Structure 1
Amino acid sequence: MNAISALHEPHTAPGEPRLSDVLAYHEALAERGLARYGPGPRVHCHTGLVDGLPLPGLPAPELRKRLKDSQETLLAELARAMGTFPDGGDVMEVGTGLGGGALYWAQEHRAKVTSLLSVPAHVEQVLRYAREAGVEGRIHPRLCSAEDMRGLGCFDAIIAVENACAVPRADWLRGARTWLKPGGLLAIADCFWVRPGSVHPSGDTWRTHLGSVSGFLAAAREAGLELEVHDDVSARAVGFWTLTAELLVHEHMSRATDARGLRAALNAVRMEAKREHLWLQQGLLDGGLEYALLVLRRER
């Protein structure tokens, strides 16, 4: 969603999230991601893919490890879907939080990564993680607008994980096409609604602006991007939220010091699970939501 900072217009249209809302969302997302999946250097702030759930009762450290592994599985599946991912190529990563994705593409695929970030403090943090990982020469985090980008048609791939739903899609996709080299790839991993009623009725920037997969693909065609891969991985995404809900129990129970605190912790778990997880699990299971991997190519 921080793609808004790359294509932000001074007057936000009705129904579109404000830039300030997106910045606040990404600050909170990164803080929560670091607490759950840190320390770095590769910290991810997005959904993962889980194949086979363990028996309940895993300790919190093991849950965190499995969740982080599942996030890396998502990136590996996105790379597989891209097929001809240009090892050593120039990549724009529309960053999710703390640069975990940027480090993944730099370390696993030797890519030179320009990572777009929404939050000013995250630029130095991503640089620090890049130094720790030994890939500081391959990672270029930046806060920028579309006007700041130099050299149209300069990227072999643009990768956006849970960052393409809340933006004005037509504008963003047209911009993505101009940044890609002829034949370059746009790779998306995101949650979309299939039935409008599946969208969560809240003020959360991500949950209320998911958008439809059909609308996104129609806008991509209009922008001159040809769909090559459309993988529905909803069933594999459900397990991530199941494990996260289990981790919630550990997080809240660790703060309980007496019987009263225990009851409060259990109530907090139920409320947060209902707000954050259960609607997603239900939507992904009944087909109201779709977690999709999309790969589109710029026509030559």
Structure 2
Amino acid sequence: MTLDLSLACHDYAWTQPLWDGRVEPEGVRLSTVNYPNPVRFSRMVRNREFDACELSMGTYLATRRNGDRFPFTAIPVFPFRKFRHAYMYTRRGSGIADAADLAGKRVGIVNWQTTTGIWQRGTLSDRYNLDITDVEWVAGGSEIVDVDVPDAYDLTYLDHQGSTIGLLEDLIERGEIDAIFHPVDSGVANAERLFDDAKAVEQTYYRETGIFPIMHAIVLRDEILDEHPWVVQPLYDAFERAKEIGLTALDRPRELPLVWADVYADEQREVLGDDPWEYGLTEDNVATVETLAEYAHDQGVAAERYGVDELFATEYLDTDYYA
């Protein structure tokens, strides 16, 4: 029997083999589609349009408060990770020299549940002793899933239709906010990174914590998991094989469109090892997910401080598990 599944996922170098047919899950015929963030998230959350979907971890954690309304469960495949120190920008002339200076300032964010923001706020609280309740948070976009933000946080939503990123960049250019916590690079002329040497800061963060922040996970509709629980293993294996193929590009740096590709590839291996995008509930991944879940709960995104056993479908998965 062959199971037909729709998969909404970005075609990263490490998922591309699932798109072009180099990797096919055993017993599964995939129909791959791609939509930008957060369109993909919204279509899965609101309409369950896909059988499997790459979903924001912040949004996923927010949905766990109501499993009946959001009938899908993640598997431990994490197709997107990103360090987030480099994406905190301050306005020149705002008087912000370091993280402590963010207290009392207006900081623009996409919305409260973005995984980027959860990591950034949690990291500043955890490692830089910033009381994030002292910051005036300004959200340019609405929430995909309703969240119960504690009253201690000073959060204002702007009534805006259109590009949230564009709005935040306009606000910082006009001097109406003091900083932006972005999910993408900022092209604003009067904005500069909070951390001057962000790469060095992120490398130190990894060496000290072992955390390479998980941003997204693959979720499957619970109906599929109930009726075809066997599908978890071949889907996991296919993502793993696709990732292995994608990572071989680092063995051929002359084919990458980077001038110093050899140097960058060697540096990445020295800091992060051979497979920074490891899947499964390995020791590092469990610690990373638990840290994110703690931040999400403290910030009101998640109703509980969920454990990994509450978040991932692993009963029919044969892979490393350290929890």
Q: TM-score range by the shorter chain?
A: 0.3 to 0.5
TM-score, length-normalised on structure 1?
0.37
TM-score, length-normalised on structure 2?
0.35
* Structure number with higher helix proportion: 1
Q: Taking CA–CA contacts closer than 8 Å with sequence separation of 6 or more, which of the two structures ends up with the larger relative contact order?
A: 2
Structure number with bigger Rg: 2
